Amino acid sequence: MGAVQSFREMCDRPKNTNVRLSLPAVCIVWQTAMIILFGVFIRYNEESDTHWVEYKKENNIPSDIENDFYFRYPSFQDVHVMIFVGFGFLMTFLKRYSFGAVGFNFLIAAFGLQWALLMQGWFHSLDYTDGKIKIGVENLINADFCVAGCLIAYGAVLGKVSPVQLMVLTLFGITLFAVEEYIILDLIHARDAGGSMVIHTFGGYYGLSISWMLYRPNLDQSSRLQGSVYHSDLFAMIGTLFLWMFWPSFNSAITDHGDGQHRAAINTYLALASTVLTTVAVSSLFQKHGKLDMVHIQNSTLAGGVAVGTAAEFMLMPYGSLIVGFCCGILSTLGYIYLTPFMEKYMKIQDTCGIHNLHAMPGVIGGIVGAITAAAASESVYGAEGLINTFDFEGEFKNMVPTKQGGHQAAGLCVAICFGIGGGILVGFILRLPIWGDPADDNCFDDEPYWEVSHRSQYQVSYRMNSRYLKIVRVQLI
């Protein structure tokens, strides 16, 4: 009890946002560690190594076009855009935290993808003959996916943490992700092509739990900055649209060659289209005068992409995708209207970007949709070979049947939730230590503590015209 008390006190000391030593130290030391670990462990795989010429001959591969690079590289680049421009700009909506949004997103993604190559490599791409991790384009995509989980979590704590905290959040996030992913995909043998469970559910609950641990009772002292201006909302739309447009690539990037990628792209395209309409409908219906709210358009329109993540590669059917999108647009928008304020008021969860509505809840829906679709799969719909291919009923899982697969999918979803909440509480505890340089409650949502910001044009003047003279109502630093 005394320990908790003194920990509390230690955490409540006055804040110092100077990260001049800690941030460079973390970046340099961790990057050096990456170099050493890459030197020991990481090599090119047979498709990116100069021995490909010989490999091709030995395996009777008729053409260079059969190199996995040509199957996946366009999707990889789309995913890459989602990670850096999509997530980065989506978070620029705050009036004075756009540098932090796009800049720290850049930093932690660049670190996270290196650590992810190692962590995922040890679990999935280790060549036991020489103890090396062999990487190719699919590993790059998976590393980007892994990073996405941490960027989702960043959305919950946006504006309230220091870059050093974000690095810590990423280090642990990637580690937890890789373990969770191994359990869900390899041990449980759940399928999760677009990561509804592995990425969005995990990332969502991870971020929400951290935000809960870092609850700031006096955050309203920064409320002047917790809103958007006209052009910051437009910058955020750049993020929204690149996420929306490239989501079909996200969900199809690592699915099976051929029909797998093809079908996943179609399903995602349709689910997202459907979501836009129901988001607009609910946004308009629940606002005074039927006006649309940019927050909903920026975020809830994406929920359909999250929710078809698991089932996109299955025979969800085009109308099935539309239904998933339809429901998610409604639920996600209602979440922004009712759930986010409720969670802040009663559950002490301050969720800056509303990741619960965009990632956690749609991710869970996606996991459930995946479980149902898998359980309902049949040879008459999939074809005998198609069923085996799609669900990978091979090797150790040769005797698997769709109904049982449905159960495994549900189990996978539970693991993702547990890892998200458990991991978030653990990491949140670490991040409460008073050594990370996070801002004070009246200094949140502000680029000023961590960025050289030009001091010009930063006063906001409110006027009121009174017959012939001008009354200055308020001058405020923005």
Looking at the DSSP bridge assignments, the partners of residue 44 are 135
Residue 430: which residues within 8 A CB-CB, separation 6 or more?
A: 168, 172
Closer by beta carbon to a copy of itself, 25 or else 435: 25
Residue 174 lies near a copy of itself (rule: CB under 8 A): no
Closer by beta carbon to a copy of itself, 47 or else 180: 47
Over the window 382 to 411, marking each residue x when it contacts a copy of itself by CB under 8 A and - when it does not, the resulting string is xx-xxx-xx---------------------
Pick from 1, 3, 4, 475: which binds a copy of itself (CB under 8 A)? 475
Pick from 217, 399, 456, 467: which binds a copy of itself (CB under 8 A)? 456
Pick from 59, 399, 457, 467: which binds a copy of itself (CB under 8 A)? 457
Closer by beta carbon to a copy of itself, 42 or else 417: 42
8 Å CB contact between 201 and 420: yes
Closer by beta carbon to a copy of itself, 68 or else 421: 68
Closer by beta carbon to a copy of itself, 345 or else 474: 474
441-450 core/surface letters (b: 16 or more CB in 10 A; e: else): eebbbbbbbb
8 Å CB contact between 304 and 325: yes
Q: Is the dihedral of CA 457, 84, 149, 451 positive or negative?
A: negative
Closer by beta carbon to a copy of itself, 114 or else 201: 114
What are the tokens at 400? 């698997």
Query: 164: closest CA among 330, 316, 28?
Result: 28
Residue 42 lies near a copy of itself (rule: CB under 8 A): yes
Q: Which stretch binds a copy of itself (CB under 8 A): 2-10, 22-30, 367-375, 400-408?
A: 22-30
Pick from 6, 11, 12, 21: which binds a copy of itself (CB under 8 A)? 21
In the complex, the smallest distance separating the C-beta of residue 5 from a copy of itself, rounded to whole angstroms, is: 31
Q: Between helices 402-431 and 384-391, what is the axis angle to 10°?
A: 10
Query: 86: closest CA among 228, 232, 238?
Result: 238
8 Å CB contact between 244 and 190: no
In the complex, the smallest distance separating the C-beta of residue 158 from a copy of itself, rounded to whole angstroms, is: 16
Residue 246 lies near a copy of itself (rule: CB under 8 A): yes
Number of residues that bind a copy of itself (CB under 8 A): 151
Closer by beta carbon to a copy of itself, 103 or else 422: 103
Closer by beta carbon to a copy of itself, 73 or else 123: 73
3-class DSSP assignment, residue 21: coil
Looking at the DSSP bridge assignments, the partners of residue 460 are 476
Q: Which stretch binds a copy of itself (CB under 8 A): 69-77, 186-194, 201-209, 348-356?
A: 69-77
Residue 189: which residues within 8 A CB-CB, separation 6 or more?
A: 392, 397, 400, 405, 408
Q: Which stretch binds a copy of itself (CB under 8 A): 63-71, 123-131, 197-205, 215-223?
A: 63-71
Residue 23 lies near a copy of itself (rule: CB under 8 A): yes
Query: What whole-number distance in Å separates Cα of residue 294 and Cα of residue 10?
Result: 40
Number of residues that this document lists for the chain: 478
Pick from 7, 49, 126, 442: which binds a copy of itself (CB under 8 A)? 49
The CB density around residue 354, as the number of other CB atoms within 10 Å, is 22
Looking at the DSSP bridge assignments, the partners of residue 267 are none
Pick from 221, 231, 341, 433: which binds a copy of itself (CB under 8 A)? 231
The helix or strand, by DSSP H or E, that contains position 472, with its residue range, turns out to be strand 469-477
Pick from 153, 270, 358, 374: which binds a copy of itself (CB under 8 A)? 270
3-class DSSP assignment, residue 44: strand
Query: What whole-number distance in Å separates Cα of residue 331 and Cα of residue 477?
Result: 37
Query: What whole-number distance in Å separates Cα of residue 62 and Cα of residue 77?
Result: 26
Residue 27 lies near a copy of itself (rule: CB under 8 A): yes
Binding residues among 342-371 for a copy of itself as defined by CB under 8 A: none
In the complex, the smallest distance separating the C-beta of residue 272 from a copy of itself, rounded to whole angstroms, is: 7
Binding residues among 94-133 for a copy of itself as defined by CB under 8 A: 95-96, 98-99, 102-103, 106-107, 110-111, 113-114
Binding residues among 148-167 for a copy of itself as defined by CB under 8 A: 163
8 Å CB contact between 118 and 135: no
Pick from 90, 136, 355, 428: which binds a copy of itself (CB under 8 A)? 136
Residue 445 lies near a copy of itself (rule: CB under 8 A): no
Query: What whole-number distance in Å separates Cα of residue 383 and Cα of residue 320?
Result: 19
Query: What whole-number distance in Å separates Cα of residue 345 and Cα of residue 243?
Result: 30
Pick from 150, 190, 282, 364: which binds a copy of itself (CB under 8 A)? 282
Strands annotated E in 75-232 = 126-127, 132-135
3-class DSSP assignment, residue 42: strand
In the complex, the smallest distance separating the C-beta of residue 395 from a copy of itself, rounded to whole angstroms, is: 18
Pick from 137, 183, 190, 303: which binds a copy of itself (CB under 8 A)? 137
